[in-house]
Amino acid sequence: MTLQVRVGIGYDSHRFAEGHGVLLGGVLIPAAVRCTGHSDADAICHALTDALLGGSGLGDIGEMFPDTHAENAGRDSIEMLRLAVARVRAAGWMPAQADITVIAETPRLGPHRPAIRERLAAALGIEPSEVMVKGKTNEGMGWIGRGEGLACIAVATLTPSPRS
Ligand code: MG
């Protein structure tokens, strides 16, 4: 039997360095830190891309965009997300809904939530009401609590897409 709904999960983390803002879901949130990484270090986009690729059985972000390739250095993660969505659709699936949790002591996501939801929804080809983003602290515990970086968990639901 072929399932008519698939669910994928993705996780990502990035280390903080001194900076002027954290890029999350394609939105630069003002902060005294930035995330470091090979691409633009957008943990929401990376976790969500992995959720989409995982749910559709297409591998993971590391396979699709190897960090050994120069073209992926500093790469726009919204663009990577869009390319992953196109690949998912070509494989007969499409995003229906996504739910995302960012675990970080700083910055606060709340005021930027509507912008992030809009940006991600546009990349996924769904409505902002179908994308949720939630911020949590780690209650001061561990590496996240010490402010060394942030983590992100994303879940995406996929439904069959008409093959073109
Ligand atoms: Mg990443």
pTM of the model: 0.95
Residue 25 CA to ligand 1 centre (angstroms): 12
pLDDT at 61: 93
Domain carrying residue 109? 6-160
Ligand 1 centroid, distance to 65 Cα (angstroms): 11
pLDDT at residue number 147: 97
Q: Is residue 129 part of a domain?
A: yes
pLDDT, residue 38, reads 86
- Domain of 13, CATH number, reads 3.30.1330.50
In a domain, 148, yes or no: yes
Which has the closest alpha carbon to 123: 162, 94, 93, 153? 94
Residues (pLDDT < 50) of the chain are 164
Domain for residue 88, yes or no? yes
Does residue 42 lie within any of the structural domains?
Answer: yes
**Could you tell me if residue 80 is inside a domain?**
yes
Give the Cα-Cα-Cα angle 56, 84, 2 (nearest 5 degrees): 15
Query: How close is the Cα of 152 to the center of ligand 1, in Å?
Result: 9
| Residue 1 belongs to a domain | no
Cα 50 to ligand 1 centre (Å)? 10
* Cα of 1 from ligand 1 centre, angstroms: 34
Cα 129 to averaged position of ligand 1 atoms, centre (Å): 25
Domain count, the chain: 1
Q: Is 66 exposed, middle or buried (0-12, 13-18, 19+ CB in 10 A)?
A: exposed
